[in-house]
Amino acid sequence: MNQKMKWCLVGLFCLSLFFFVVQQKNKEKAQAFSATFRMNLIAEPPTLDWSLATDNVSIRVIENLMEGLAEYDAALQPIPAVADRWEVSDKGRTYLFHLRKDVFWSDGKPVTAHDFEYAWKRLLNPKTASEYAYFLFDIENAAEYNAGVIQDSKRVGVEALDDFTLRVSLKKPAVYFPSITTFTATYPQRKDLIERYGDHWTDPAHLVTNGPFLLDEWRHEYRLTLIANETYYAGRPSLDRVVFYVVSEETTALTLYETGDLDRVSLPPIAILQYQHHPDYLRAPFLRGYYYGFNVEKAPFNDARMRQAFSMAIDRTEIPRILKGGELPATSWIPAGMFAHNPKIGLSFDPEKARRLMSEAGYTQGSEVPPITLSFNTDPTNTLIAENIQAQWKKNLGVSVLIDNMEWKVYLRQLKENTPQVFRLGWGADYPDPDNFMNLFTSTSGNNYTQWGNVEYDRLISEGASEPDVSKRVAIYDAAQRILTESDTPIIPLFFASQNLLIRPVFEGLQVNAMDLLHLKKVRLKSTQKEKF
């Protein structure tokens, strides 16, 4: 055997040894996932301080560490959690929350009404500079305290009457208020710990929580590990551990699912077609609407007939065809999965009527219409939709529309300072009540970029927020939606989004809901899998 051959053999041996070790490692990894649920977060959680968290990523972690007065059931109705029950009086202006006496913080201290009073006032305190302080603006003097108009926090309408009774006084009746108390920003907090540890009170070494899981490890930009809370009041969760990996790239997350490193992933649009018949695939509605808005002060959209014409010239069924993500075409604004959703409302595709309306507005031909620019933030999905709708407007109305995309923050500044003629935006539910969607377009809403206002619409939304009778509320929101999407048409609703997921079938109890809330306390390994592992 010559020298070269010897070296070749040594090389081959080393290579085989390397691959053997690697394979063994993979096997060990596969065996290690007995009662551990692993999923990805699309970014590092900016904070775990629930007074300051505003993003889905932070909220996803917090909602498994903490519990508030109420939580959602499977139908997204608020049900008691830390609160045992609540009473409504004073024509819907006063809420009395009675707390359970068996709920404890992870350091053994009981969760009291004082913890809620402290947390809510901290949220509203201008020094906290919380973005979600407005969630509590329905409470008496809350907005005034947050704006610094009043200094004394005792004047804010929230008070712990004793350790287990919390009284909340509202400015005006808000039937959706129990839904607000499910939100992470309203969870209780420990004054003693926040004062002791300052900004570091959410570090794993200091964080004290009351939910089904406890924060065990937080390796920034990479991984958060949660472990089961043995003293959780509703019983220890079935999962031993939950590991959240920070994996921003959707296709990387998908590869990690395929290699067995993740147990739940959201599918990137490009992969939906390939996986839609996969046994682990799941599609669910999502309370998120996508719309085009008009600046009603800029020609030609200062004429409602032109806005109606442009809405009627869009065949929305083309959107799921081009996006392929199971989007639900929409002509109305309250999303599917929420009460008062009514798909019969809105202007459906009718190019002939659209041309007639345009003619009535004084434009017999598309070329007579003043130049129009459709603006949106840079994103491949937004581009696909804009190009499709640009082509539809050209085909159905003969109007040439320019499309213009901008980086996100530049776009937001443009919306604020010089709202384009037509712009794209979306809205995701903060709480599953029509008020959250319809309130967006009142004349006083900071999120209404259309410059449109309608006194009747404002009155209906205010009435809807305080009306306790569900059937009457439906009628009120139907009327309001007709103004918004038919008669005045300051916006064109386009579609409601869907969730496209892969969930490893060895787990059960994972309720996928339209709010994309992920409560892992009910997740468990199937009994057959327990035996296996």
Question: Binding residues for another protein, per CB under 8 A?
Answer: 19, 22-23, 25-26, 44, 46-47, 49, 52-54, 126-131, 133-134, 137, 143, 146-148, 199-200, 202, 219-222, 245-249, 251-252, 255-256, 258-259, 261, 407-414, 416, 425-427, 446-447
Distance CA 290, CA 245 (A): 29
Write the single-letter amino acid at 147: A
Residue 269 beta carbon to another protein: minimum distance, rounded to whole angstroms: 17
Distance CA 271, CA 254 (A): 9
Residue 285 beta carbon to another protein: minimum distance, rounded to whole angstroms: 20
Where do the H-state alpha helices sit in 429-514? 434-438, 455-466, 470-482
Strand partners, 427: 289
Distance CA 218, CA 359 (A): 62
Distance CA 263, CA 267 (A): 13
Task: Rank residues 22 and 470 by Cβ distance to another protein and give the closer one.
Answer: 22
Burial class (CB in 10 A: 0-12, 13-18, 19+), 67: buried
Q: Give whole-number Cα distances, 28 to 22, 32, 40, 474, 531, in Å.
A: 10, 6, 21, 56, 17
Residue 371 carries which DSSP code?
Answer: P
Distance CA 449, CA 292 (A): 11
The candidate with the shortest Cα–Cα distance to 355, out of 301, 294, 309, is: 309
Residue 21 beta carbon to another protein: minimum distance, rounded to whole angstroms: 9
- 287: enclosing H helix or E strand: strand 281-294
Rounded to 5°, the CA angle 22-23-29 comes to 90
Residue 245 beta carbon to another protein: minimum distance, rounded to whole angstroms: 6
Residue 439: phi, psi to the nearest 5?
A: -60, -20
Residue 264 beta carbon to another protein: minimum distance, rounded to whole angstroms: 16
Residue 38 beta carbon to another protein: minimum distance, rounded to whole angstroms: 10
Task: Rank residues 238 and 450 by Cβ distance to another protein and give the closer one.
Answer: 450
Task: Rank residues 157 and 212 by Cβ distance to another protein and give the closer one.
Answer: 157
Distance CA 356, CA 349 (A): 13
Task: Rank residues 144 and 463 by Cβ distance to another protein and give the closer one.
Answer: 144
Task: Rank residues 126 and 235 by Cβ distance to another protein and give the closer one.
Answer: 126
Residue 153 beta carbon to another protein: minimum distance, rounded to whole angstroms: 15
Task: Rank residues 8 and 147 by Cβ distance to another protein and give the closer one.
Answer: 147
Residue 409 beta carbon to another protein: minimum distance, rounded to whole angstroms: 3
Task: Rank residues 144 and 318 by Cβ distance to another protein and give the closer one.
Answer: 144
Q: Give whole-number Cα distances, 508 to 107, 190, 525, in Å.
A: 30, 34, 6
Burial class (CB in 10 A: 0-12, 13-18, 19+), 433: buried
Residue 39 beta carbon to another protein: minimum distance, rounded to whole angstroms: 13
Task: Rank residues 129 and 273 by Cβ distance to another protein and give the closer one.
Answer: 129
Strand partners, 410: none
The candidate with the shortest Cα–Cα distance to 296, out of 310, 285, 279, 283, is: 310
Residue 62 beta carbon to another protein: minimum distance, rounded to whole angstroms: 13
Task: Rank residues 130 and 392 by Cβ distance to another protein and give the closer one.
Answer: 130
Q: What tokens appear for 405 in the block?
A: 């995309």
Q: Give whole-number Cα distances, 419 to 314, 381, 440, 448, in Å.
A: 22, 21, 16, 11
Task: Rank residues 23 and 373 by Cβ distance to another protein and give the closer one.
Answer: 23
Residue 200 beta carbon to another protein: minimum distance, rounded to whole angstroms: 7
Strand partners, 148: none
Task: Rank residues 107 and 131 by Cβ distance to another protein and give the closer one.
Answer: 131
SS3 of 142-201: the string is HHHHHCCCCCCHHHCCEEEEECCEEEEEECCCCCCHHHHCCCHHHCCCCHHHHHHHHHHH
Of how many residues is the chain composed?
533
Residue 453 beta carbon to another protein: minimum distance, rounded to whole angstroms: 16
Tell me the DSSP string of 101-133: SS-B-TTSPBP-HHHHHHHHHHHH-TTT--GGG
Task: Rank residues 7 and 19 by Cβ distance to another protein and give the closer one.
Answer: 19
Residue 204 beta carbon to another protein: minimum distance, rounded to whole angstroms: 13
Task: Rank residues 107 and 199 by Cβ distance to another protein and give the closer one.
Answer: 199
